[in-house]
Amino acid sequence: MKSAWDKVCIARNMERARATDYIENIFDGFIELHGDRNFGDDKSIVAGIALLDGDPVTVIAQQKGKNTSENIERNFGMTNPEGYRKALRLMKQAEKFNRPIITFIDTPGAYPGIGAEERGQGEAIARNIFEMSKLKVPIISIVIGEGSSGGALALGIGDEIIMLENAVYSILSPEGFATILYKDASRNVEAAEKMKMTAEDLKRLGVIDKIIKEPEGGVTEESREVFINVKKVLIEDITTLKKNDTEKLLSKRYDKFRKIGG
């Protein structure tokens, strides 16, 4: 049986399937859109419009690289304020045209650089959380790798929250947790167990709704069965969520996160 730290290592594996692998294997006709209409285009966020089983959806995904050069280009999946604002721009567009929103979460956390703070990192994350809570279209959030800190939560206010079996979702990294709590980052393995960050832990605690199985060594770009299963779950969940009128959809979302927060 895998430990929590084992799953952290699998979630961080450079060979793990990235958001673009899911996009390529699940959706048709993906058109990427760029920029926040204010500062620039953050390549750690891949976002656009696509067809899911013939129906239009908005897809917003955090993207890591599979090698050093790709990670540098994607800022190691650490999003800047303009990335979150790009995401919000497209979420508001989705609401205008009544398109369901699907987010893929995979980040070690929001980028902590001075420039990001100067451009309003905290406000951008808080604004996304606030706006997502009241968007009038279905939202499904999927944690496909790491889901750490507010950097993940800024895309995680979904009507359904799904995790891959070896993904992790937490308030911060185990190393950060160990540094704060134990004053010793080397106690990361112990911290990972304490944090209850695995899919099984979070399902039991009611934080997430579904777990999607992975191959023994973790999901890669060749894991066709996983992509098929994710697509099937997305179609089923969107079909179910569309049966709710707007008031009921928002009420259920509010109650869901009040329960988690409580």
pLDDT at 136: 97
Asked whether 233 and 164 are in contact (CB, 8 A), the reply is: no
In a domain, 261, yes or no: no
DSSP, collapsed to helix, strand or coil, labels residue 190 as helix
In a domain, 262, yes or no: no
- CATH value at residue 243: 3.90.226.10
In a domain, 8, yes or no: yes
- pTM of the entire structure? 0.95
Distance CA 126, CA 184 (A): 30
pLDDT at 262: 56
Query: Which is nearest to 141 in space by CA: 224, 86, 229, 62?
Result: 62
Query: Which is nearest to 162 in space by CA: 147, 140, 135?
Result: 140
Distance CA 173, CA 226 (A): 26
In a domain, 137, yes or no: yes
In a domain, 176, yes or no: yes
Query: Which is nearest to 208 in space by CA: 155, 164, 148?
Result: 164
- Walking along the chain (262 residues) 10 residues at a time, the average pLDDT comes out as 93 95 97 94 96 97 94 92 97 98 96 94 96 97 94 96 97 92 93 95 95 93 95 97 96 90 58
Asked whether 176 and 151 are in contact (CB, 8 A), the reply is: no
Q: In the Cβ-directed half-sphere of 88, how many Cα atoms lie within 13 Å?
A: 23
In a domain, 190, yes or no: yes
Structure tokens at 65: 């690289």
In a domain, 20, yes or no: yes
Query: Which is nearest to 6 in space by CA: 201, 147, 166, 187?
Result: 166
Query: Which is nearest to 171 in space by CA: 184, 154, 153, 185?
Result: 153
Q: Which domain holds residue 60?
A: 4-256
- The total domain count for the chain is 1
pLDDT at 260: 72
In a domain, 121, yes or no: yes
